[in-house]
A and B are shown apart, each in its own frame.
Chain A
Amino acid sequence: MKNLKSKKLIGYYGFPRRSTLRSARERFGRDLEFVDLDVALGAPDSRVIQTTTCRITANIVDNAIELSRNIVAIVADVGEGKCDRGRYAAFLLREAGFNVIESRFPPEEFEDRSLVYSTSEGSLAERVDRIMGTVIHPSSSVDQTRACSPTHGFWGVPPHDFRILDIFPPTTHIYGWTRCVEAGNPGDLEMECYVDKNVPTVFFTQSFCAKQDLAHHLAEKHDGLFVDCHRNVNNSILSKVEAFIKLS
Chain B
Amino acid sequence: MQNCFHCGLDIIKEERIIFDEKDFCCNGCKTVYEIFSLNDMTCYYDFEKSPGATPLDIKGKYDFLDNEGIVGKLLEFQEDNTAIVSLNIPHIHCSSCIWILENLQRLQKGISTSQVNFPEKKVRITYNTEIVSLKTIVHLLSSIGYEPYISLENYETGKNNVDRSLTYKLGLAFFCFGNIMLLSFPEYFEVKEYWLDNYRPFFRWLIFALSLPSFLYSASGYYVSAYKSIKSGMLNIDIPIALGIIIFFIRSTFDIVMDYGSGFFDSLTGLIFFMLLGKMFQIKTYSFLSFERDFKSYFPIAITKINADSSEESVPVYDIQKGDRLLIRNQELIPVDGILMSEKAEIDYSFVTGEAIPITKKSGDKVFAGGKQMGKVIEMEVLHSVSQSYLTQLWSNDVFQKEVEQKHKSITDTISRYFTPILLLIAFAGFGYWIFIDANIAFNVFTAVLIVACPCALALTAPFTMGNVLRILGKKKFYLKNALVIEQLAKVDTIVFDKTGTITTNKKSNISYEGKKLSEENLILVKNVLRASNHPLSRMLYDFLPESKRYKINDFEEITGKGIQADIEGNQVQIGSASFVGKSEDGNIQQTTVHIKINEVYCGKYIFNNQYREGLANLFEQLSHNYQIKVLSGDNEGERDTLESILPKQTELVFNQKPEQKLEFIKKLQEEGKNVMMVGDGLNDAGALAQSNIGISISENVNVFSPACDAILDAGEFRKLNYFLKLSQKSISTIKMSFALSLLYNVVGLSFAITGNLQPLVAAIIMPLSTVTIVSFVTIMSNFYAKRLK
A and B are interacting partners: no
Footprint of B on A, CB under 8 Å? none
